[in-house]
Amino acid sequence: MSGKSRRSTLSELDPDRLPRHIAIIMDGNGRWARARGLPRVAGHRKGVLVVRDVVTACAEIGIRALTLYAFSADNFGKRPRNEVSVLMNLLVRFLRMELKEMLERNIRLNVIGHPEKLPAAVRAWLKRTIKATARNTGLVLTLALNYSSRQEIMDAARRLAALKSRGKPLKALDREDFRGFLHTAELPDPDLMIRTSGEMRLSDFLLWQAAYAELWFTPVLWPDFRRAHLMRAIRAYQRRQRRFGAVAEAMPA
């Protein structure tokens, strides 16, 4: 996209109504490859390029947080071993190639899930990138790796049970308190959740956090997802009235 086209696209957004946090379920890599007679890994390679473009766009727009469902716990246990290996290698390559860009664009890397179960090379590059970008104050890019929202909620419940076992009272616990035990405690809840490929489900992704997220589904497969689609999703978000359980008449004008 040219600089002129990019400025024109950005001008269509209301800067005062941007979602603070966008979460994306990146779906359709395998179907994209199959439709072209290519191996599934070709779709994953193409998808990595799309990640770079979307991250850059969010940083330029001024989005505070972007969370990408990069690798679910089910992916880790149910995908063919060679495909998982390729995905892990692509992740390492992405981190190696994008570290300089993250530093230049003031992007901070964050991870949720259980990355401790990932290969050593992946863990090493995650640790290195997180440390290198820790002081950045712009976009927080969160990768959900070996992630399951149900497991995350169970993790939080176990932490609460451990507190109770140490004699700390839990009767006054409220939603915000519980939220502090989730993997995403430092992030605002997602305002906008996007899923590509035409599927209309959350697939165990940010189930607690997305309670009031605006959902935007598109038939576009992830390797074909472009900046224009992201802008379309944000414009759709800005046209919606968010009630958070209230009736329209009770909302401020």
**Identified catalytic residue from 53, 75, 204, 224:** 75
Q: Residue written as tokens 């070709």?
A: 42
pLDDT at residue number 177? 85
Residue 217 pairs with which residues in a beta bridge? 195
155 an active-site residue?
no
Contact 230, 193 (CB under 8 A): no
Query: Token digits for 168?
Result: 């700390």
What average pLDDT score do residues 142-168 get?
Answer: 89
| Band of pLDDT at residue 83, cut at 50, 70 and 90 | confident
**Identified catalytic residue from 27, 29, 110, 146:** 27
User: What are the Cα distances from residue 241, in Å, to 22, 186, 238, 244?
Assistant: 17, 26, 8, 9
27 an active-site residue?
yes
Domain range list for the chain:
17-238
Q: 187-225: b or e for each residue (b if 16 or more CB lie within 10 Å)?
A: bebbbbbbbbbeeeebebbbebbbeebbebbbebbbbbb
Superfamily of chain region 17-238: Decaprenyl diphosphate synthase-like (3.40.1180.10)
pTM: 0.91
